[in-house]
């Protein structure tokens, strides 16, 4: 079996710190090693503590990005390896199963039963098998260390600029357009309804400047994440008015990129006042999107 350069960690967001760890593995292609990443089928905190940890990316999006980078995703059951000692993890998983010649991880990586192993343990154990170890230093945005939990907090707060800076791209999700109640059409702003992917972190409820992407093109858009209080809605969903596009998108997949929070959701006294607000939202959203470097790519 050809030796591999394996990135270690829980790559739930593929944020800029994750990319640094992955980059170290990718660099080993010049040394004849195949870049790969070890992934878990479930978040360790879910298995160990029963925690509910919302995702920043769906598994499909994560694996697609990894393959585009040139890194092979290898998924294992966390339940099956969680009780391995650090020695057994290195010997049985990294060396025997994956054929590691090189491993990369972040500065705070823990492994083995109850997280017993850290950087020095990994270096010592890998040295015995001739496996090189690379550990990436902490990365910060402003004064805040980049982490998936920090990004989840930013998304929940509607701070998409911070989330984007840490992710290295806008917060995004893709879903199939489903039928709505056609109220947007009567308000002069026909919308597409996209369910939030199951398990993904729910952004702060409100209105966002966004980009809708489908058919290989990007469109400036306004997205409402909420429960439509003006019309007595209860369930949270996303409704997006796509500017400069007219056509039937039912049944098609649309990817949304949330760029900037514009305002909170609120209940309007009439359809006319809501219509006027939508027009103002659209103007601000277009300005935001058209000045975005992401939209120009």
Q: How many CB atoms lie within 10 A of CB 58?
A: 17
Percent of the chain with pLDDT over 70: 93
Residue ranges and CATH numbers for the domains of the chain are: 4-138 (3.40.50.620), 144-296 (2.40.30.30)
CA dist 240 and 82 (Å) reads 42
Decide: residue 114, CB within 10 A, 0-12 exposed, 13-18 middle, 19+ buried.
exposed
Give me the pLDDT at residue 255, please.
Answer: 96
Q: Is the pLDDT of residue 182 over 60?
A: no
Q: Where are the alpha helices (DSSP H) in the chain?
A: 16-26, 44-49, 59-69, 78-81, 86-88, 119-127, 148-157, 160-167, 183-186, 271-290, 293-296
| Per-residue pLDDT tens over the stretch 2-51 | 899 999 999 989 999 999 999 999 999 999 999 999 999 999 989 988 98
Give me the pLDDT at residue 180, please.
Answer: 65
Give me the pLDDT at residue 230, please.
Answer: 46
Q: Where are the alpha helices (DSSP H) in 174-270?
A: 183-186
Q: Is the pLDDT of residue 231 over 70?
A: no
Q: Is the pLDDT of residue 103 over 50?
A: yes
**Higher per-residue pLDDT: 277 or 66:** 66
Q: Is the pLDDT of residue 186 over 50?
A: no
| Per-residue pLDDT tens over the stretch 51-63 | 899 999 999 999 9
Closest CA to 168 of 256, 294, 66, 61: 294
- Which of 13-22, 106-115, 185-194, 248-257 is least confident? 185-194
Query: Where residue 297 falls among pLDDT bands split at 50, 70, 90?
Result: low
pTM of the model: 0.91
Q: Where are the alpha helices (DSSP H) in 137-241?
A: 148-157, 160-167, 183-186
Query: Where residue 201 falls among pLDDT bands split at 50, 70, 90?
Result: very high
Q: Is the pLDDT of residue 267 over 90?
A: no
Give me the pLDDT at residue 84, please.
Answer: 97
Give me the pLDDT at residue 288, please.
Answer: 95
Q: Is the pLDDT of residue 93 over 80?
A: yes
**Strand runs (DSSP E) across 196-236, as ranges?**
206-214, 217-226
Q: Is the pLDDT of residue 79 over 90?
A: yes
């Amino acid at each position: 079996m050809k030796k591999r350069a394996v990135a270690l960690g829980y790559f739930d967001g593929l944020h800029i710190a994750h990319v640094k760890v992955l980059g170290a593995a990718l660099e080993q292609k010049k040394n004849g090693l195949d870049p790969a990443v070890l992934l878990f089928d479930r978040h360790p905190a879910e298995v160990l503590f029963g925690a509910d940890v919302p995702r920043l990316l769906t598994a499909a999006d994560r694996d697609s990005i990894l393959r585009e980078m040139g890194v092979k995703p290898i998924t294992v059951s966390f339940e099956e390896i969680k009780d391995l000692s650090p020695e057994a993890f290195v010997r049985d998983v990294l060396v025997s199963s994956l054929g590691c010649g090189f491993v990369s991880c972040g500065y705070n990586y823990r492994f083995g039963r109850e997280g017993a192993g850290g950087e020095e343990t990994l270096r010592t154990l890998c040295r015995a098998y001739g496996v090189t170890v690379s550990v990436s230093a902490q990365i910060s945005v402003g004064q805040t260390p980049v982490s998936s939990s920090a990004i989840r907090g930013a998304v929940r707060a509607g701070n998409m600029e911070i989330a984007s800076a840490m992710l290295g791209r806008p917060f995004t999700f893709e879903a199939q357009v489903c039928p709505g109640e056609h109220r947007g059409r009567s308000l002069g702003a026909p919308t597409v309804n996209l369910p939030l992917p199951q398990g993904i972190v729910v952004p702060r409820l409100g209105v966002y400047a966004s980009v809708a992407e489908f058919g290989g093109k990007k469109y400036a858009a306004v997205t409402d994440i909420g429960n439509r209080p003006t019309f007595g809605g209860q369930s949270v969903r996303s409704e997006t008015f796509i500017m400069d596009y007219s056509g039937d998108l039912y049944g098609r997949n649309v990817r949304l990129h949330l760029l900037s929070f514009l305002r909170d959701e609120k209940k309007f006294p009439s359809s006319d006042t809501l219509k006027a607000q939508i027009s103002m939202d659209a103007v601000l959203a277009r300005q935001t999107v058209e000045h975005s470097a992401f939209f120009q790519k």
